[in-house]
Chains A and B, each alone.
Chain A
Amino acid sequence: MKIRSSAIISELVDRWLTKVATLIAVYVTFRGHNAPGGGFAGGLLLGAAFVLQFLAGDEPSIRRRPIRNPEMLLGVGLLAAFGTTLAPLIAGGSPLESYIWKLDVPVIGEVKFVSSTLFDLGVFAVVVAVVLMILRALGTDGAGVSAHRGRAASRDQGGAPR
């Protein structure tokens, strides 16, 4: 299955794409509060990068990397969102109430942090985890389509997404 050009692409993708994409995705997530972006978009962006990596590379690459255990990520994301929802109750507020902290950081200047950013990070994590889980379930021949392996493999040569 290995074609030379594909190997070059996959190497590039392996080396750079995920790192850059992660940076951009996190940036998109954080800027979401004031400009277009946010947890959904950021998560999908990183998910798309993983998809690209998956399509470019060999099938098991999605297992080795980038996140071994997307179920864990899913749980962490849900917990972060639940936690942000419920935390104000402890402080005597109403659920999901936003708290705004402003810090003066030298050089950078004033940094504003809103508690709902944590919520957005939870959304981000959940979206990334969902993409990875679906990719792993449907995209790995071993787990996903072994029942139809013969037929699927033969078709992979032709119209399959490579």
Chain B
Amino acid sequence: MMLFVAIFAQFAVGGLTLVGLRRRPALAAALGVVVLACSAVLVAARGIGGAETSSYSVRWLPILGFNLNVQLDGFAVVMALLVSVLGAAVLVYSLAYFEHDGTYARFVGLFMAFAGSMFGLVLAEDLFTMFVFWELTSVWSFLLIGLNDKSTSARQAAVRALLTTGAGGLCLLAGVGILQVQYGTTSFSELLTAGPSGNFAHAAAILLLLGAFTKSAQFPFHFWLPGAMAAPTPVSAYLHSATMVKAGIVLLARTSPIFADVGVWRWWVVVAGVVTMVLGGWRALREVDAKLVLAYSTVSQLGLLTVLFGVGNRYATYAGVAHIVAHAIFKVGLFLGVGVIDHEIGTRDVSKIGAARRAMPTTTLAMVLSLLSMAGIIPLLGFATKEKALVALLDLERDAVGVVALAGVVVGSVLSVAYSIRLLRAVLRSDVAPERSQVAAHSSVDADHHSSVAVRIALSGPVVVAAAVSLAAGLTAATVGSWLVAPSKSLDVNAVSKLALWPGINDALITSAIVIAVGAVIGWRAPLSQSATSAATGERVFDGLYDTTMRLAKRITAVTQSGSLPIYVGVTLLVAAGALVAGLVIDAPRLTGGVSWGSPLEALVSIVAMVLAIGVAVARPRFAGALFLGGVGYAIAVLFAMRGAPDLATTQLLVETLTIVVFLLALRSMTQKTGTHVGWTPRVLRLGIAVGVGIVVPLFLLAARASRIRPSPAQDYFARSLDEAGGRNVVNVILVDFRGFDTMGEIVVLAVAALGVVNLVRRAAR
């Protein structure tokens, strides 16, 4: 239960910030740090060392079998700790990074809401729970990317990210639905027991993969992630490198054991992962903006993680878990470091950031360590985990998938060493002629801002800590590795392995040495100031699709919504009559029987109604037509009254009266007479439709009346009315109780129609 409290508390801080603490964002952020720290402690206390997995459940929609289930198994502990600890670190950083204005309050609120969602996502025990939090993270991500809502490009990037991850979310939902229907559960452990196979399992697997790939920016959906860098640095560091983009990986990690035997799974995962890794690495090597370099490197690293979790090998799962941790730590450090440089010298251009070296030696050193970890250089944590990944892939069977995975990861690793080294060179470059004027201007403006020690510590603190953790964990790789065994085992019971600082000379180490050597040469020789490449192909394809959809929607609307009232009425009537005719023809029901004749007076009233109805059709002045129409209504009200339905009669009478008045009011602004010719269709056809509908509808009513095989539900209502609903007037009880939902819908329609009238008239008046 405490886990739900933790999730709820994070949401609550988010909500509180957006509503109550708008003017005190710093206080809200401090509160957020405390809540996140408490969550981390809670997770550590409950999750580490316990023999059995604790799990909790909250009933949500028991009627539909939907509950929120969370569990705290090993993997969940690792992920939840990453989410909460990194969240707290980034929040501390953000205190110094942002101006404390309304935007910052919004950031803190959304950030905490996101943290709560992500926390729930990694703890999810079944796919349904995961889906709920999954969608929430997409929404917060959208809002956070578009945090600077005055920037068009930020808004566009936010929409791209939302539509891409949202489409993936829908695929995930479809997959969850298939599994729920087919196996009656979406729980990971129960699905593993069920062992899905066959066509439905294939479909579900592909849908889940689409969800995971869109979320984790796998090829061909990788394009939204670099675009998301329009967000402020803390957002990029937290959402788009350390946590949210790992959601897809978490999904893969959870479902890989279930679908490992489904044929398409491994191929898809490996091919997508490898392509993404190489593509991301290549783009990272060419980008000029340091933040984009990091974004593409994230894409590339996510590709590696996808491969590791997808191949379904016991070493690979362990390597994947270890690399998630390593990547989150060094990537957060790097993003925040670039943010510090950007904050201090006002540029992220890789050919210029070397200027920051002198001003910020500590931060620069920390970034160097993180970069070395990313490149996988001994003795940092990145070395141990990358090493383990190679061991796992070398251990694979040498079938086609295994070879593709191995070759792809080796090429990808060369590229990741290369872009790490390129960035390293950029950071360390001393021959940069810093644009003195710019730097000076920048620092003089923020002079007191910079002199504050607290700000400096808050900004560079997380960067330094991240680097220190990378180094310390690398030096004590064996210990850290032993902590990661339980988490891997919770994903795959067969998972085994260990980390080591110095694994000894083996195939993996030799491969790794070659990779580093080749990558270092490439990275050192790669130019820093490449002319910027045009927008990514994926982005262009997405925009093309988007524009085409919009155009298509407009054209369909233009065709179906012509704006002609006669056409709308004609089509509606034809379709309705067609359906009735189909029913009459197919079932060929009896038409007689079940009708009780009343007094001769009824016949008289009916004839009056008919005459009036003909009057509506033939009267040329609109005014007369409206009156005739009202007359028909009154006649019907009289019929109701004769048949003993006072409620209906009263209501009908009142409605008709009001309708006539409304008609007449509206008629004031129309031509007095109906048009002599209506353009859309000849008179004969209109007459045909009218007569046809007039014949078909009564026939159908007769048939419906004659084919009754059960007593009317009214009998039941009569019996229950007084006891259950406390009313003697069954008509009213039906309206407000038995069929209250219908009434609910009706008054909503009524309200919407009234608003529509008001706005239409207002528009016409302009």
Residue of B nearest to A94 (CB): B63
B744 at the interface (CB under 8 A from A): yes
CA distance A51 to B736 in the complex (A): 26
Given contacts A41-B650, A133-B754, contact A48 B657 (CB under 8 A): yes
Q: Which of A113-129 contact B (CB under 8 A)?
A: 114, 116-117, 119-120, 122-123, 126-127, 129
B731: chain A residues at CB < 8 Å are 36, 38
Q: In angstroms, how far is the closest chain B Cβ from the Cβ of A121?
A: 10
Given contacts A77-B747, A98-B737, contact A35 B728 (CB under 8 A): yes
**Contact assessment for B737 and A44 in the assembled complex, using a CB-CB cutoff below 8 Å:** no
B50 at the interface (CB under 8 A from A): no
B651: chain A residues at CB < 8 Å are 40-41, 44
A131: chain B residues at CB < 8 Å are 658
B647 at the interface (CB under 8 A from A): yes
Q: Which of A77, A78, A159 contacts B623 (CB 8 A)?
A: A159
**Contact assessment for A116 and B736 in the assembled complex, using a CB-CB cutoff below 8 Å:** yes
CA distance A100 to B744 in the complex (A): 20
Residue of A nearest to B724 (CB): A98
Q: In angstroms, how far is the closest chain B Cβ from the Cβ of A37?
A: 7
Most A CB contacts (10 A, CB to CB) among B646, B669, B753 go to B669
**Contact assessment for A34 and B754 in the assembled complex, using a CB-CB cutoff below 8 Å:** no
B719 at the interface (CB under 8 A from A): no
One of B108-116, B551-559, B755-763 at the interface: B755-763
**Contact assessment for B724 and A160 in the assembled complex, using a CB-CB cutoff below 8 Å:** no
A4: chain B residues at CB < 8 Å are none
**Contact assessment for B761 and A137 in the assembled complex, using a CB-CB cutoff below 8 Å:** yes
Q: In angstroms, how far is the closest chain B Cβ from the Cβ of A3?
A: 19
Residue of A nearest to B766 (CB): A147
Most A CB contacts (10 A, CB to CB) among B647, B666, B668, B727 go to B668
4 A-B pairs with the lowest CB-CB distances in the bound complex, closest first: A44-B654, A33-B727, A36-B646, A138-B665
A134 at the interface (CB under 8 A from B): yes
Mask for B706-740, Cβ within 8 A of A = 1, else 0? 00000000000000000011111101110111001
One of A7-15, A103-111, A148-156 at the interface: A148-156
Q: How large is the interface on A (under 10, 10 to 19, 20 to 34, 35 or more residues)?
A: 35 or more
Q: Which of A1-58 contact B (CB under 8 A)?
A: 32-41, 44-45, 47-48, 51, 55
**Contact assessment for B664 and A160 in the assembled complex, using a CB-CB cutoff below 8 Å:** yes
A87 at the interface (CB under 8 A from B): no
**Contact assessment for A48 and B658 in the assembled complex, using a CB-CB cutoff below 8 Å:** yes
**Contact assessment for A135 and B754 in the assembled complex, using a CB-CB cutoff below 8 Å:** no
Q: In angstroms, how far is the closest chain B Cβ from the Cβ of A31?
A: 8
**Contact assessment for B666 and A138 in the assembled complex, using a CB-CB cutoff below 8 Å:** yes
CA distance A112 to B726 in the complex (A): 8
Number of B residues near A (Cβ < 8 Å) is 46
CA distance A100 to B737 in the complex (A): 12
CA distance A48 to B652 in the complex (A): 13
Residue of B nearest to A85 (CB): B744
**Contact assessment for A33 and B751 in the assembled complex, using a CB-CB cutoff below 8 Å:** no
**Contact assessment for B658 and A138 in the assembled complex, using a CB-CB cutoff below 8 Å:** no
Mask for B659-682, Cβ within 8 A of A = 1, else 0? 001101110110010000000000
Q: Which of A34, A39, A122 contacts B728 (CB 8 A)?
A: A34
Q: Which of A47, A96, A122, A161 contacts B737 (CB 8 A)?
A: A96
B724: chain A residues at CB < 8 Å are 98
A95: chain B residues at CB < 8 Å are 741
B741: chain A residues at CB < 8 Å are 85, 95-96
A126: chain B residues at CB < 8 Å are 747, 750-751
Residue of B nearest to A159 (CB): B623
A144 at the interface (CB under 8 A from B): yes
Given contacts A114-B726, A137-B758, A147-B669, contact A41 B750 (CB under 8 A): no
**Contact assessment for A119 and B740 in the assembled complex, using a CB-CB cutoff below 8 Å:** yes
CA distance A161 to B658 in the complex (A): 13
**Contact assessment for A74 and B736 in the assembled complex, using a CB-CB cutoff below 8 Å:** no
**Contact assessment for A152 and B669 in the assembled complex, using a CB-CB cutoff below 8 Å:** yes
A interface residues (Cβ-Cβ under 8 A, vs B) = 32-41, 44-45, 47-48, 51, 55, 74, 77-78, 81-82, 85, 95-96, 98, 100, 112, 114, 116-117, 119-120, 122-123, 126-127, 129-131, 133-139, 143-148, 151-152, 155-156, 159-161
26 A–B contact pairs at CB < 8 A? A32-B729, A34-B729, A35-B728, A36-B729, A38-B731, A48-B657, A74-B751, A77-B751, A81-B744, A85-B740, A85-B741, A119-B740, A123-B736, A123-B747, A126-B747, A126-B750, A133-B754, A134-B757, A135-B662, A135-B665, A137-B758, A138-B757, A152-B668, A156-B668, A160-B668, A161-B664
B764 at the interface (CB under 8 A from A): yes
Q: In angstroms, how far is the closest chain B Cβ from the Cβ of A61?
A: 15
CA distance A130 to B752 in the complex (A): 9
Q: In angstroms, how far is the closest chain A Cβ from the Cβ of B98?
A: 37
CA distance A145 to B743 in the complex (A): 33
Mask for B615-651, Cβ within 8 A of A = 1, else 0? 0000000010000000000000000000000110011
Q: In angstroms, how far is the closest chain A Cβ from the Cβ of B168?
A: 32
**Contact assessment for B669 and A144 in the assembled complex, using a CB-CB cutoff below 8 Å:** yes
**Contact assessment for B736 and A119 in the assembled complex, using a CB-CB cutoff below 8 Å:** yes
CA distance A116 to B727 in the complex (A): 10
Q: Which of B658, B725, B743 contacts A98 (CB 8 A)?
A: B725
Q: Which of B668, B669, B747, B764 contacts A81 (CB 8 A)?
A: B747
**Contact assessment for B669 and A120 in the assembled complex, using a CB-CB cutoff below 8 Å:** no
Given contacts A33-B732, A85-B741, A155-B668, contact A114 B727 (CB under 8 A): yes
B765 at the interface (CB under 8 A from A): yes
**Contact assessment for B658 and A78 in the assembled complex, using a CB-CB cutoff below 8 Å:** no
A133: chain B residues at CB < 8 Å are 754-755, 757-758
Q: In angstroms, how far is the closest chain A Cβ from the Cβ of B718?
A: 14
CA distance A34 to B647 in the complex (A): 11
CA distance A114 to B724 in the complex (A): 10
**Contact assessment for B748 and A78 in the assembled complex, using a CB-CB cutoff below 8 Å:** yes
**Contact assessment for B665 and A148 in the assembled complex, using a CB-CB cutoff below 8 Å:** no
Given contacts A119-B736, A126-B751, contact A36 B765 (CB under 8 A): no
B755: chain A residues at CB < 8 Å are 74, 133
B655 at the interface (CB under 8 A from A): yes
CA distance A78 to B751 in the complex (A): 8
Given contacts A130-B750, A148-B669, A152-B668, contact A41 B647 (CB under 8 A): yes
Most A CB contacts (10 A, CB to CB) among B623, B747, B751 go to B747
A98: chain B residues at CB < 8 Å are 724-726, 737
Supplied contacts A44-B651, A147-B764, 19 more A-B pairs, CB within 8 Å: A33-B729, A51-B657, A55-B661, A78-B748, A78-B751, A85-B744, A117-B736, A119-B736, A119-B740, A126-B747, A130-B751, A133-B755, A135-B661, A135-B665, A138-B662, A145-B668, A146-B765, A151-B669, A155-B672
A78: chain B residues at CB < 8 Å are 747-748, 751
B761: chain A residues at CB < 8 Å are 137-138, 143-144
**Contact assessment for B751 and A32 in the assembled complex, using a CB-CB cutoff below 8 Å:** no
Q: Which of A44, A117, A119, A139 contacts B658 (CB 8 A)?
A: A44
Residue of B nearest to A156 (CB): B668
Residue of B nearest to A129 (CB): B754
Residue of B nearest to A55 (CB): B661
A114: chain B residues at CB < 8 Å are 725-727
Q: In angstroms, how far is the closest chain A Cβ from the Cβ of B221?
A: 39
